[in-house]
């Protein structure tokens, strides 16, 4: 017993020594779970003891202590196991609660060996069997009784048994270990963490608030506070509890406490806080807590910041920087430039959070930082390039986005993102208006994809829509039509259908356009394109002459989108429709509304105001309201002069201005417009303006003054183009050739010739078709070989321009000249020229009549009687050819007669026996005589006599007529001869007829 007591005293002594051990053990336990409850204290070494027998409890205890000090847990279990085996059964009876120290140590070793369940069991024995009672003598008290409960709680927490752990923590808090045996602040952080893990963030926060506020005199270290904060954040960013409200709480908590947990950049890395913050930020971001994610990343320290921190530390050492510090500097220095370090993961997490939040500018800033600073070998570079490209679009930088897309394609031609990059790049190019590039790339990309592949959706859309925007409308229409058929569920279906309709409209296929636009409007009533579609639809209806439908569509558009930026155009079209329907008052009203809208719209709508004012002048003219004509004219000239409509507005207003005594002013204004038009590169509008100018100048001032004015029209020193100069010459010719003023220009032929010669000097390309033809005709009229040759060139130049108002004149002019020049080659050309007229000018019968006649004459002159007869016979079948009917029948008869077909000839001459052809004496006298001669030749003298007698009796006065005279005389001769031959009674009027 004495021995036992002695032993116990020694044990007691050692157990009190072991208190320090226990402190250390607790530290160790806490460290195991990642938390520090007490400040690190150097353990006091166990006193050197003499070697005891192996079963001596003291010896065993000390041996175990030594091994534990050296972290030799497995070995330490052995002596402790012997103690528990040998003394355990009656240990608590023999030594009282103090024996709990043995179980505590045993559990501690087990815990370090990660045998948590066994450890828990032994801590529990320590806590239950080794419980201190109120009457437990001081020397028998278990010094680690309360701490064993804390240890159990820590293990339970590590095992995820949060509720059980919390119960133990709460019990411990109610009956804590003596002060100084554990770190109270760290304990609270640990409990807060457990609350947080158990989903009781409010309790965790409450505890941490107390800690941060320093309640109870506690002053935890910043890193301990940071640990608590991280634990709290784990809860607030978890999918179960993380929401907008907890995000708000988190921000509030950080706002209040961030300064208290300020830790140096290096410590942030050293304590692994950066890693934990990154994990939390990612959870927050996935949990839609984007601002919290941004904030958590912002609490991290970058490698750059760590290096700054370490440099600041090293500066303090001067030249003697410790080796460890140097190594750390080097390590983090390398991380700064590393392409795949934690920094880049953090930056990408940050950019992701910003993008999810919608702050694309911030994400763009991060991605472009990466584009600038990573190498091609970086695993993150493709993400960075693509991210920069994507966010450049979202921040309104399509050009930059396109450049980045191209860079991506160049750097990573086989990357898995390439498809996405191509898609985005194509969309960017197209929507940035770079249609050439978009088209080129889309064609390149689609060449590698089968036609029916879904990936052709975008490329084919871009091809079609780009072609449309590049003005290749027909190809665009085909592409878009094909796209619409193949990709019925396309993402681009809506724009494809709009562009397809627009293409048809551009191709002036108004009816098809209407069909497509109506269908589009029905399918996509809320489309962003709907306003343009309705405007275009109204245009189609207008162009089809369906003015009522046009008006309906404009009403629909205005009702649907009263703020549509182009509504002024639509309302102006309403005015146009009313004008076409002669609803002039309604037209004026609509134009005034359109004008007000366009003026309010400001920049870019001036052209609408100008055009509307022109239409208002027209409407006012139609309404016979000269005051308003002048009002609109004045408005136009005050603000919109210098535009496309100048000439038109002045011309339309001239009458009203003339009436108001402002005709001369208007003419001056028109002269100014004409000179301006003549200063441009082309001569658009000059012809109409000059015509109007000359027409009104003659009326207001007079023809001789006009002739003078046309000579000095362009002020000295002003350069004008040849188009205007030519038109001024032409205007002089037109004036001089006007019979109305022939008496006022006695030398007009010479003056005209001078003007024509001026025109002949111009390059034909610079002259209007009208002028080309007039010059040609003038040359042909000279009737010289040179003139004819030159005339053909001028006519050809006009004909080469295709159909125009002056095309028939040119064609006829050319044929006439060719017809008269002779020679077999020219003969054929002339026949061809006439055939061309007959073929191409069917809608101008007067030209066809002339051409056929001339063609027949050509054959006639060449004695090609069959061909000539065929042409003339064809002409006789055209009832409309009345102008040349007599000549045609005459020539037809002649051709038949020459060919020897006297019956047909007789048939052709017969119409001259009666009206109306008998009145064409230049043909009828000869025709009648020739018919009579044919009858005579056939032996029908009676018939011949009757015919010549009728001819003589009707035409006896025409014996002096240049064409008919000789044939009348011949008729008289035949009359006398046949009368005598047939012994007819002389007619009583023979004296009158001059045949007696």
Q: Are 69 and 48 in contact (CB under 8 A)?
A: no
Q: Which is nearer to other proteins, 229 or 498 (CB)?
A: 498
Q: Which is nearer to other proteins, 121 or 606 (CB)?
A: 606
Beta strands in 126-228 (DSSP E): none
Q: CA–CA separation, 158 vs 160, rounded Å?
A: 5
Q: Which is nearer to other proteins, 425 or 917 (CB)?
A: 425
**Which is nearer to other proteins, 123 or 367 (by Cβ)?**
367
Query: Residue 318 CB, nearest distance to other proteins (Å)?
Result: 3
> Could you tell me the two tokens for 588?
């004026």
User: In 782-823, where does DSSP find H-type helix?
Assistant: 785-799, 807-821
Which of 849, 896, 845 lies closest to 870, judged by CA? 896
Q: Which is nearer to other proteins, 436 or 708 (CB)?
A: 436
How many Å apart are CA 314 and CA 365, to the nearest integer? 32
Give the residue with the Cβ less far from other proteins, 372 or 447.
372
Q: In angstroms, what is the minimal distance from the CB of 149 to other proteins?
A: 36
**What sign has the CA pseudo-torsion 39, 41, 43, 44?**
negative
Placement of tokens 């001339």 in the chain: 854
H/E element, 23? helix 2-32
Structure tokens belonging to residue 425:
């790049």
Minimum CB distance to other proteins, residue 298 (Å): 4
d(CA 718, CA 985): 87
Query: In whole angstroms, what is the distance from residue 904 CA to residue 896 CA?
Result: 6
Q: How far is the CB of 580 from other proteins (least distance, A)?
A: 5
Query: Between residues 371 and 913, which has the closer beta carbon with respect to other proteins?
Result: 371
**What gap in Å lies between CA 413 and CA 416, rounded to an integer?**
9
The nearer residue to other proteins, 60 or 310, going by C-beta atoms, is 310
H or E segment at 239? none
The nearer residue to other proteins, 404 or 921, going by C-beta atoms, is 404
The secondary structure of 39-63, three-state, reads: CCCCCCCCCCCCCCCCCCHHHHHHH
Rounded Cα distance, 338 and 89, in Å: 62
d(CA 164, CA 116): 15
Q: Least distance in Å: CB of 177 to other proteins?
A: 32
| Residue 164, both tokens | 């059980």
Min dist CB 456 to other proteins, Å, is 16
Whether the ω angle into residue 861 lies within 30 degrees of 0, i.e. cis, is: no
Separation of alpha carbons 573 and 428, rounded Å: 34
Q: Residue 676 Cβ, how far from other proteins at the closest point, in Å?
A: 20
Listing DSSP states for 955-972 in one string gives HGGGGG-TTHHHHHHHHH
Tokens of 502: 């627009």
In whole angstroms, how close is the CB of 402 to other proteins at the nearest point? Answer: 9
CB of 622 to other proteins, least distance (A): 7
Instruction: Compare residues 613 and 667 and give the one whose CB is closer to other proteins.
Output: 613
Secondary structure letter of residue 319 according to DSSP: T
Kindly tell me which of 146 and 566 has the beta carbon lying closer to other proteins.
Answer: 566
Q: Return the number of the residue (611 or 696) whose C-beta is nearest other proteins.
A: 611
Nearest distance in Å: CB 704, other proteins: 33
Residue 469 vs 774, nearer CB to other proteins: 469
Smallest separation, CB 340 to other proteins (Å): 16
DSSP secondary structure string, 657-704?
HHHTT-HHHHHHHHHHHHHHHTTSSS-TTHHHHHHHHHHHHHHHT-HH
Number of residues assigned to the chain: 996
Torsion sign across C-alpha atoms 374, 378, 381, 384: negative
Q: Please, which residues have CB within 8 angstroms of residue 931's CB and are 6 or more apart in sequence?
A: 893, 905, 906, 909, 910, 912, 913, 947
Our CB check for other proteins shows the closer of 407 and 699 to be 407
Place of tokens 């082309």: 682
CB of 648 to other proteins, least distance (A): 8
- CA atoms in the 13 A half-sphere facing the CB of 323: 0
Q: How far is the CB of 843 from other proteins (least distance, A)?
A: 20
The nearest distance, CB 465 to other proteins, in angstroms, is 9
């Amino acid at each position: 017993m004495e021995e036992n007591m002695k032993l116990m005293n020694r044990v007691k002594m050692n157990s009190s020594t072991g208190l320090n051990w226990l402190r250390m053990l607790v530290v160790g336990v806490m460290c195991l779970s990642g938390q520090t409850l007490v400040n690190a204290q150097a353990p006091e070494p166990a006193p050197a003891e003499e070697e005891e027998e192996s079963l001596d409890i003291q010896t065993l205890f000390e041996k175990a202590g030594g091994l534990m000090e050296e972290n030799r847990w497995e070995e330490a279990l052995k002596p402790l196991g012997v103690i528990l085996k040998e003394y355990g059964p009656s240990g608590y009876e023999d030594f009282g609660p103090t024996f709990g120290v043995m179980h505590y140590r045993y559990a501690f070793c087990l815990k370090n060996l990660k045998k948590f369940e066994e450890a828990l069991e032994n801590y529990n024995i320590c806590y239950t069997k080794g419980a201190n009672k109120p009457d437990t003598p001081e020397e028998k008290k278990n010094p680690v009784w309360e701490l064993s409960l804390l240890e159990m709680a820590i293990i339970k927490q590590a095992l995820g048994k949060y509720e059980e752990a919390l119960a133990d923590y709460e019990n411990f808090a109610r009956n804590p270990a003596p002060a100084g045996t554990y770190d109270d602040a760290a304990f609270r952080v640990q409990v807060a963490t457990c609350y947080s893990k158990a989903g009781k963030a409010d309790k965790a926060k409450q505890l941490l608030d107390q800690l941060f506020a320093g309640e109870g005199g506690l002053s935890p270290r910043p890193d301990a506070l940071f640990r608590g904060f991280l634990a709290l954040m784990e809860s607030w960013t978890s999918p179960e509890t993380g929401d907008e409200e907890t995000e708000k709480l988190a921000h509030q908590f950080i706002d209040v406490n961030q300064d208290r947990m300020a830790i140096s950049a290096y410590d942030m890395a050293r304590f692994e806080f950066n890693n934990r913050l990154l994990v939390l930020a990612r959870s927050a971001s996935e949990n839609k807590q984007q601002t919290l994610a941004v904030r958590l990343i912002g609490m991290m320290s970058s490698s750059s910041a760590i290096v700054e921190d370490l440099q600041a530390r090293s500066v303090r050492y001067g030249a003697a920087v410790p080796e460890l510090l140097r190594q750390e500097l080097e390590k983090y220095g390398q991380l700064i430039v590393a392409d795949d370090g934690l920094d880049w993961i953090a930056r990408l997490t940050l950019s992701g959070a910003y993008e999810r939040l919608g702050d694309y500018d911030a994400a763009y800033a991060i991605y472009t930082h990466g584009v600038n600073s990573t190498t091609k070998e970086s695993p993150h570079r493709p993400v960075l390039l693509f991210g920069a490209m994507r966010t450049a679009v979202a921040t309104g930088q399509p050009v930059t986005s396109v450049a980045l897309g191209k860079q991506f394609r160049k750097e990573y031609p086989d990357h898995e993102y390439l498809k996405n990059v191509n898609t985005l790049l194509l969309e960017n190019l197209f929507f940035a208006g770079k249609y050439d590039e978009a088209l080129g790339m889309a064609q390149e990309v689609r060449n590698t994809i089968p036609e029916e592949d879904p990936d052709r959706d975008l490329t084919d859309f871009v091809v079609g829509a780009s072609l449309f925007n590049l003005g290749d409308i027909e190809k665009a229409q085909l592409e878009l039509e094909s796209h619409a058929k193949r990709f019925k569920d396309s993402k681009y279906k809506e724009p494809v259908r709009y562009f397809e309709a627009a293409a048809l409209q551009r191709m002036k296929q108004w009816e098809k356009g209407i069909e497509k636009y109506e269908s589009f409007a029905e399918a996509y009533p809320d489309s962003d394109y709907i306003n343009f579609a309705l405007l275009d639809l109204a245009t189609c209806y207008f162009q089809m002459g369906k003015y009522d439908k046009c008006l309906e569509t404009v009403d629909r558009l205005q009702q649907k989108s009263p703020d549509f930026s182009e509504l002024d155009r639509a309302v102006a079209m309403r005015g146009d429709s009313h004008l076409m329907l002669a609803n002039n008052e309604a037209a004026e009203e609509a134009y005034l509304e359109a004008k007000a809208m366009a003026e309010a719209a400001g920049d870019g709508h001036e052209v609408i105001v100008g055009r509307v004012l022109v239409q208002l002048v027209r409407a006012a003219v139609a309404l016979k309201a000269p005051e308003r004509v002048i009002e609109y004219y004045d408005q136009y000239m005050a603000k919109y002069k210098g535009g496309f409509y100048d000439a038109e507005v002045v011309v339309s207003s001239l009458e009203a201005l003339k009436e108001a005594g402002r005709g001369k002013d208007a003419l001056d204004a028109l002269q100014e417009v004409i000179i301006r038009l003549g200063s441009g590169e082309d001569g658009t509008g000059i012809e109409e303006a000059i015509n109007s100018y000359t027409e009104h100048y003659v009326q207001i001032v007079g023809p001789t003054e006009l002739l003078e004015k046309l000579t000095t029209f362009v002020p000295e020193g002003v350069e004008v183009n040849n188009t205007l100069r030519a038109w001024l010459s032409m205007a002089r010719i037109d004036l001089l050739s006007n019979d109305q003023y022939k008496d006022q220009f006695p030398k007009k032929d010479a003056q005209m010739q001078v003007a024509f010669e001026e025109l002949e000097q111009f390059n034909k390309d610079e002259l209007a078709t009208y002028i080309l033809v007039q010059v040609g005709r003038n040359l042909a009229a000279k009737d010289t070989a040179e003139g004819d040759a030159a005339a053909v060139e001028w006519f050809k130049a006009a004909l080469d321009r295709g159909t125009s108002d002056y095309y028939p004149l040119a064609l006829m002019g050319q044929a006439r000249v060719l017809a008269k020049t002779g020679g077999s080659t020219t003969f054929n050309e002339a026949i061809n020229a006439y055939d061309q007229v007959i073929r191409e000018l069917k809608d101008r019968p007067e030209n066809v009549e002339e051409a056929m006649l001339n063609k027949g004459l050509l054959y006639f002159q060449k004695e090609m009687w069959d061909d000539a007869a065929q042409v003339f016979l064809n002409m006789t079948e055209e009832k409309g050819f009345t102008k040349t009917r007599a000549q045609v029948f005459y020539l037809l008869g002649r051709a038949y007669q020459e060919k020897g077909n006297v019956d047909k000839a007789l048939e052709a001459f017969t119409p001259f026996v009666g009206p109306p052809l008998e009145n064409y004496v230049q043909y009828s006298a000869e025709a009648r005589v020739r018919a009579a001669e044919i009858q005579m030749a056939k032996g029908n003298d009676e018939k011949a006599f009757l015919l010549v007698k009728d001819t003589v009796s009707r035409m006896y006065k025409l014996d002096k007529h240049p064409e008919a005279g000789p044939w009348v005389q011949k008729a008289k001769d035949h009359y006398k001869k046949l009368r005598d031959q047939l012994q007819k009674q002389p007619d009583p009027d023979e004296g009158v007829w001059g045949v007696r």
